[in-house]
Structure 1
Amino acid sequence: MKTRLMSVVVVVTLILFTAVAGFASGGHGHKAPKKVGILLVAFGSSEASAQVSFDKLDAKVKQKYPEIPVRWAFTSHIIREKLAGQGKHFDSPEVALARMLDEKFTHVAVQSLHTIGGAEYHDLRKTVGGFKAMGGFQKIILGYPLMSTQEDMEKIVDALIDIIPEKRKKDEAVVLMGHGTHHPSNAFYAALMFQLQLKDPNIIVGTVEGYPGIDLVQDLILAKKIKRVWLMPFMSVAGDHAKNDMAGDEADSWKSILTQAGIQCIPVLKGTAEYDSFADIWVSHIEGPLSHF
């Protein structure tokens, strides 16, 4: 495994330096003509249904910036390998940026499609910082993820309340499943739940891999004596986590755990990026980097 990882590092390094060398020599001492590009970077998903979310974001970005070429990259090497096995090839952010150098882009807005500024986002920051240090691009700037500022939080609270199914009654809970992370930015989930509950006390936010976890989510539901909940993913795509960890039939899924506790569950399998209100927030964040070009 280590040998394979080193091989990947060497290949990527060669690609980067070849691209930078080609870029630098192509100008013959003159500044290259300005060429702006957008790189959309998501964690990725191997679920075919998740492509709906990515297609919506892609269409919105191209509609708002029709003159700017758009490229894609997935940060998860596991997802990229799964997709490659299906005959679908996606670049890592490093390879995608190296290709953009080779295509003579001079200004690149790298837009994160992550939900919070967690570990994946900060790894992306390091990648962007590395390309900035190399000097191949005249400018390369990273845009904020979905939930970055208090203004974002307020928009997200309103958007979440707006997408709750109309059939849901006020004495029923809405449980939002976030991904969660070991990164300090995991605190955004608890902050989001606090602000949601100021408007609707029966909305509960939990995470698969962080805090709050399913045990606390269950305790909160039982404490309120709620017998029916709507399970909704607070993730850009309704992929593996939503289908299996949230709504699956396995004993450790949220649906199974809550059902075992006597709580009726109604899953809603739709990622946040499928809704205009969320997609618009991500797209609006591209304005930040582009405004500096």
Structure 2
Amino acid sequence: MKKKCLLTAFLVGCSMSMSFAHGMLQKTVTDYMLKAKGYDNFHVGTIEGYPTFDTMLAKLKASGVKKVMLMPFMFVAGDHVNNDIAGDWKKELGDNGYEVSVLMEGLGQNPDIQDIFIEHARFAAKHKMVDIMDKKKQYAAGKD
């Protein structure tokens, strides 16, 4: 049975150079992670970069959804959440006839995400840093 998830998640891009990375992340999130779990009713947009608000809005209109939850897909819920997501984007979606709610939390407030950071910090504290060029030389010399 397919799960229905009435949400729109947003990635925040910083510049044109970030757009490609965010587009790739969107593809990873949409095509693999969420859809593999049975979620098919979500849209991803960026505040600066691609996919744009208009791109996301067109997909949202085609979906027939009328209730939207805006979820910041960023570590800290700061200016972009307060001004862009909970401000401009919420208003624009409301003006387009959507019932809009906003999750005012960044990913860093999620205990599961916090656990991942702690796990990575512990790993980094236990293992020495390896220079990538030295590692490449080892591989080239047949050493692992």
TM-score higher than 0.5: yes
Q: Where do 4+ consecutive residues of structure 1 move more than 3 Å? A: none
Is residue 243 of structure 1 aligned with residue 79 of structure 2? no
- Note the C-alpha offset of 1:217: 1.1
Where does structure 2 lack aligned partners over 5 or more consecutive residues?
130-144
Q: Does 1:188 align with 2:21?
A: no
Which of 97, 101, 111 pairs up with 1:276?
111
Q: Deviations over 1:75-94 (max 9, x none)?
A: xxxxxxxxxxxxxxxxxxxx
- Aligned-partner Cα distance in 2 for 1:212–1:190: 11
Equivalent position SS for 1:175? strand
Which one scores higher on RCO, CA 8 angstroms, separation ≥ 6? 2
For the residues of structure 2 that align with 1:173 and 1:219, how far apart are their CA atoms? 16
2:11 corresponds, among 152, 155, 178, to: 178
- When Rg is computed on C-alpha atoms for both structures, the one with the higher figure is 1
Q: Does 1:255 align with 2:93?
A: no
5+ residue gaps in structure 1? Answer: 1-168
C-alpha separation in 2, matches of 1:259 and 1:243: 16
TM alignment of 1:9-88, pairs within 5 A: none
Distance 1:180 1:193, change over 3 A: farther
User: In the alignment, what sits opposite 1:137?
Assistant: none
Structure-2 residue corresponding to 1:292: 128
Residue 197 of structure 1: aligned partner? 35
Identity score, percent: 32
Q: How many residues in Structure 1 have an aligned counterpart in Structure 2?
A: 120
Tell me the SS of whatever aligns to 2:49: coil
Query: Distance between the aligned counterparts of 1:212 and 1:197, measured in 2?
Result: 18
- Aligned equivalents of 2:59, 2:92: Cα separation in 1: 14
1:234 matched residue in structure 2? 73
Deviation of 1:276 after TM superposition, in Å, equals: 0.8
What RMSD in Å do the two structures reach over aligned CA positions?
2.0
Shift in Å, 1:264: 1.2
Report the alpha carbon displacement of residue 285 of structure 1 after superposing the two structures with TM. Answer: 2.1
Q: Report the CA distance between 1:233 and its aligned residue.
A: 0.7
Q: Counterpart of 2:79 in structure 1: which amino acid?
A: D
Once the two structures are superposed, residues 42-86 of structure 1 have per-residue CA deviations (whole angstroms, 9 ceiling, x without a partner) of: xxxxxxxxxxxxxxxxxxxxxxxxxxxxxxxxxxxxxxxxxxxxx
Task: State whether residues 190 and 212 of structure 1, in contact with CA within 8 Å, keep that contact through their aligned partners in structure 2.
Answer: no
Q: Aligned letter for 2:119?
A: S
* Distance (whole Å) between structure 1 residues aligned to residue 112 and residue 94 of structure 2: 31
